[in-house]
Structure formats: C-alpha cells, structure tokens
Amino acid sequence: MQTRRIGDRDVHAVGLGCMNITHAYGPPMDEGAAKSLLSRALDLGCDFFDTATLYGFGRSEQLIGEALGARRQDYFLASKCVLGFRERERILDARPEAIKAACEASLKRLNTDVIDLYYLHRPDPNVPIEDSAGAMADLIREGKIRYYGLSEMGEEQLRRAHAVHPVAAMQSEYSLWVRNPEIAVLDACKELDVALVAFSPVGRGFLADPPPNPETFHATDMRRTMFPRFLPEYYSANLALLDEARAIASEAGCTVAQLALAWTLAKGNHVIPIPGTTSLAHLEDNHAAAGVSLPQEQVSRLDAHFAPERAAGPRYSRAGQATVTTEMFDFEKSFHGG
C-alpha cells in the first residue's frame, strides 16, 4: 500500500474529502447513504478523512462522528475552523478565542476527544496569522489537536505561521487543471517538511470521463457561480484539453480520474490528494489510483499539455479569489483586476 506522511502518521496516499456529502455540488446525500460511503472508505483502507466546520453547517462532522466514531483509532481525522457559521450564516473569524470555541464544538460533533489535524480554513485579514497559529499551538499543548495546518494560503503566510509553531499540512487546490501550488507553495512545503494536501484533485469532476455537463448542475451547485471555468464562455475550450488525458489514461490502463490522481501523487512524496465523491463506484476508483504509477514520460506530457495558461478562465470568481491568499499566475491576474 502506498502511504504518505502527515506529522508522524503514515496514511493511505489517497484520502477522502468530505465536503460533497453535505453541500457544494447539490443537495446533501441521504444520511444513510453518506454513512455507508464513509464506512466503505474505511473498509477499503482509506484512513484519512478531511472535513470542516462549514461543511453542511457542521453536519459533515456529525456524520463522520456517527458513522466512524466507534473505529476512531483506525483513521486520521482532519477538520477546519475560521470559516464557520452562526445561526446558519457563514462567518470568518480567526481570533484565538474563536478558534478555541470552534474546536470544542467540532470535537463534540466528531464524537472524539482529539482532532489529528486542525486547519485554519481561510486567512482572516483582520487577525495576524501569528495570533491564529499561537491559538493552534495552545490547542496542541492542551491535547485537543495533534497537528495544525493552513488552507488556501500562500508561501508568506505559511512561513510566518511555521515560525510560531511548525505547520504539518497546507491544503491547496491542486490538479492538472489548477497548478497554482507550483508557483511557490509546493516547494516551500517540501523545504519545511509540510504535507501538501491537494483538494479537488479531479478538478471538481472535470477530470473524469465523462466530464460533468454544467447545464445539468443543481441550482445550489457552487460550480454555477464560484468557478468560472465551468461557464459556457470557457467550458468548451477546457473540454478540448481532455482528449490527451484520455489517450494517456488508455496507455496507462486507468481511468481519467485515476490518471489525474496519479499525476498529483507523482508531483512529490509530500503530496496527498483528497478527492471527494458521493458515489461508491467513484470512491473505489479513486482509492485504487494509489496503485497507478506513471512513468516520467507520461508525467511530462501531462505537464506540458495542461500547462497553466492553457486553462480557459480564472480558477475562482472575483468574490472567491478575494477570500484566499494563494499565489496566482500572471495570466490569471487580469481576470481579477491585477
């Protein structure tokens, strides 16, 4: 079994992102089906589950606690704070007291006495990262979390937080379709011995075969508004990228989604993809991607074919981009007034 390391823990090389089961790309899953999917993932050997306070306004955490709580020693558990909710309204609060209160609430929902990896979900422009990192260090000393991480932040904030207390993981969107960590964060993580946890490694479904049809997206699907590459003016140009991916997947004897995950794994031993899904078939397909090894020739062909500037449209809408501090390529800056 291929594994990757976070802190002092070895986990399966492909984890499970647990956003989809409660929101983001449509209505929440049926709760029984969601619990079955979580249990099946653990049975397969997936032992890294990644959730957040915000997902389903805490319901994703609750489902993990209900479905897997009795098997708590068998998996590595990650959750996130800062992006949270108050009376079912989204809030952003990275003050130390808010972080500690959020952790207490997450522990209860997750049915556990310790969270293995606790992230700052987004940068809070009103709170110095050093203050938030200090709160995480306090939680580690108190035994409520084992490690802390950052999400959707750039190299500068990574280094500043790491100087306060070592960061165990940086979560960033990373896939053939989104190469932004290669600007700075990927190498900085390697230098600092920080795991790079790659979310949306299958491009929010784009790097699948067949890819999604935006015309069928549910009214609540965030891809309708937050991720412009799915908009009509860009999507057809992006679809043209998939022909080469299909050809290389055929050569490699794997699905396109497995190819996307295997490429991500090939970008460094510190990289851990966490695809999300609501499908048992896709869950098994994604998990098996850890067994796909791509020769360097195929990795190089994919690197060139999916060169960052070949993606049509910006990664985020302007509103979405304003909430993160991840580095942008020059071609992206023009979309956001840079």
Catalytic residues: 55
What is the distance, to the nearest Å, from the Cα of residue 163 to the centroid of all Cα atoms in its chain? Answer: 24
* DSSP code at position 204: G
CB 251 within 8 A of CB 276: no
Q: How many CB atoms lie within 10 A of CB 19?
A: 20
CA 20, CA 59: separation in Å to the nearest integer?
11
For residue 68, the one-letter residue type is L
C-alpha span between 26 and 333 (Å, rounded) = 29
Q: Which stretches does DSSP call E strand in the chain?
A: 3-6, 9-12, 16-17, 48-50, 76-81, 83-86, 89-92, 115-120, 145-151, 169-173, 195-199, 271-273
Q: 251 CB contacts (<8 Å, ≥6 apart)? A: 298
How many residues comprise the chain?
338
CA distance 44 to 40: 6
Written as six digits, the tokens of 100 are 């500690």
CB 176 within 8 A of CB 203: yes
Angle at 124 between CA 77 and CA 165, to 5 degrees: 55
